[in-house]
Amino acid sequence: AAGVIQSPRHLIKEKRETATLKCYPIPRHDTVYWYQQGPGQDPQFLISFYEKMQSDKGSIPDRFSAQQFSDYHSELNMSSLELGDSALYFCASSPVRQGGTEAFFGQGTRLTVV
Amino acid sequence: AQKVTQAQTEISVVEKEDVTLDCVYETRDTTYYLFWYKQPPSGELVFLIRRNSFDEQNEISGRYSWNFQKSTSSFNFTITASQVVDSAVYFCALNEGGSEKLVFGKGMKLTVNP
């Protein structure tokens, strides 16, 4: 079965650079979520999109922006990278926008800022 | 405010032992959903089980079972006859009905030794 695809799987950037993470949800899933998981930490919700509109927002820094495109894939743009942005970034998708729906997670993009 | 507490941070067992992972949650909502996710060393987040606040029936699914008790705000998860492949970090998560985000506990690292 198709899963959530994230690219790249690994990314190394220098401080103050920009990074773009991509997420391709499971087909026919119209809701996408982004989470950030620091080393040894639990995943923290960043932002979500439903039908290409931002639907919920968590603790996402102003340096980060995201969008969902017409084909439902999503991109997380991160600018002025800081060492503390080093983390595993997960994208998840679900078939409907409602609480309690099982979210299917991708394998994550591991971002290292040096 | 919603909060998930996993008091255990790390457990080590020998194969074939049963192990119970504790989870206590806080929410003001009457409609909410509880989840368990598994994160093996490879890093992906794997959905295990979900329960909604209106269904306290406890179930068994293969080697997994869960005990949901609203009176104590607990959602414990048991693995019966543990196997080495069960070694992972296990996260309990809460979703309030009106929100899209998952709030995770800090995770519990389970090591199953042969």
pLDDT per position in chain B (114 positions), as tens? 789 999 999 999 999 999 999 999 999 999 999 999 999 998 899 999 888 888 877 777 889 999 999 999 999 999 999 999 999 999 999 998 778 889 999 999 999 999
CB contacts, 8 Å: A107 with chain B = 42-44
Residue reference for tokens 């006859």: B81
CB contacts, 8 Å: A99 with chain B = 31-33, 95-100
A48/B50 CB distance under 8 A = no
Quick check: A106 contacting B, CB < 8 Å?
A: yes
> How does pLDDT run across A10-49, given as a tens digit for each residue?
999 999 999 999 999 999 898 999 999 999 999 999 999 9
Please state, in angstroms and rounded to a whole number, the distance separating the CA atoms of residues B86 and B20. 12
Q: What angle do CA B87, B92, B98 make, to 5 degrees?
A: 150
CB contacts, 8 Å: A48 with chain B = 100-101
Quick check: A103 contacting B, CB < 8 Å?
A: yes
Cα distance from A74 to chain B (closest Cα, Å)?
Answer: 17
Nearest to B90 by CA among B45, B40, B38: B38
Q: What is the DSSP letter of B84?
A: G
Please state, in angstroms and rounded to a whole number, the distance separating the CA atoms of residues B79 and B63. 6
- For the record, the structure tokens of B68 come out as 């949901």
